[in-house]
Structure formats: C-alpha cells, structure tokens
Amino acid sequence: ANEERSFIAVKPDGVERGLVGEILRRFEARGFKILALQLVHPSKELLGEHYKDLAGKPFFPKLLAYMQSGPVAAFVIQGKGAVKIGRAMLGATNPQDSAPGTIRADFALDIGKNVCHGSDSVESAEREIALWFPAGLKPYTRAVDAVIYE
C-alpha cells in the first residue's frame, strides 16, 4: 500500500524557469521516495503515446509542440496515495482554477503552460512509467520510511 507509484514530470516551461528543484522538493518534503529521475527530450512518438487519449483534441498539436520545446524533467514518486496526492499537489489542469498552495496555482497562469504533469490513475501511472523509463526502475529501501509511516 505504501508502494504506489506515480509518474510526475516538470514540463519544458518549468525546466526553463528553474522550477525542477522546487517541485521535486515538495514531493520529497511530503515524504515520497524518488524512484527515478531523468531529463528527457521526448520524441513525438513518445508524446503521442503519452497523450494518446487527447489525440483528437484541437489543442493536441500545440500540446506536442510545447512538450518538445525543451527538456522534460521526468520522475517517479513512490509512497502511500502517490497518484491521488500527486494530482492534488499539482492542482487543477487550468491554473486559473488551481487551489492556492498547489504547484500550478503557485507557478502558472495558463492551461497551455501549466508547468507539470501527474498520472491520473494507478493504471495510467504504470503505463506512463513504462513509457518514460523503458529500462525499468530499481527499488531501494529507505530507513526514513519507518519515521514517515505508522
């Protein structure tokens, strides 16, 4: 139960603006274990697969161009409620609607430049992790988990 994983990414605007450390810091501070961490220049094929549910949307070409405008900081967090809490920490998709204190509310204004991505379900997380980290993940134990979990 404490091993749930989510795929989190800082999009090119977030990398450009120097927000990688701040965003990673929030997940670390919350107690999540960082299981993987990499700067990726995603191909059109990877992004088409990642966003395949949105392929028919009018904003899809713009979304792919945005996601290819620079490197993406891709990471995997692991811990209790990683998917749901991850989404909550990111905030609503449109930063105009994101609750204060969330990453998108604190660092973004437009839906098409919303700084970060987080998996929306455990199934999506598994799919996205396999896509962005095809070499797989190497689990490790942390002594601090004994202090974080009851």
Residues at the site binding ligand DAT, with contacts judged by CB under 6 A = 54, 59, 63, 93, 111-112, 114, 117, 120
SS3 content of the chain, % helix, strand, coil (to 5): 45, 15, 40
Active site residue 41: no
Q: Which is nearer to Mg ion, 106 or 120 (CB)?
A: 120
122 binds, among ligand DAT, Mg ion, none (CB under 5 to 8 A by kind): none
Q: Which is nearer to Mg ion, 34 or 111 (CB)?
A: 111
Size of the site for Mg ion (CB under 5 A): 1
Q: How far is the CB of 124 from Mg ion (least distance, A)?
A: 7
Other C-beta atoms closer than 10 Å to the C-beta of 47 total 19
Burial class of residue 72, CB neighbours in 10 A (0-12, 13-18, 19+): buried
Q: How far is the CB of 35 from ligand DAT (least distance, A)?
A: 20
φ, ψ for residue 112, nearest 5 deg: -85, 5
Q: How far is the CB of 60 from ligand DAT (least distance, A)?
A: 8
Q: Please identify which of the residues 5, 11, 87, 117 carries the catalytic annotation.
A: 117
- 3-state class of 39 per DSSP? strand
Residue 42, amino acid: P
Q: How far is the CB of 11 from ligand DAT (least distance, A)?
A: 8
Q: Directed axis angle between helix 122-132 and helix 82-90, to 10°? A: 80
Residues found near Mg ion in the complex (CB under 5 A): 120
Active site positions, annotated: 117
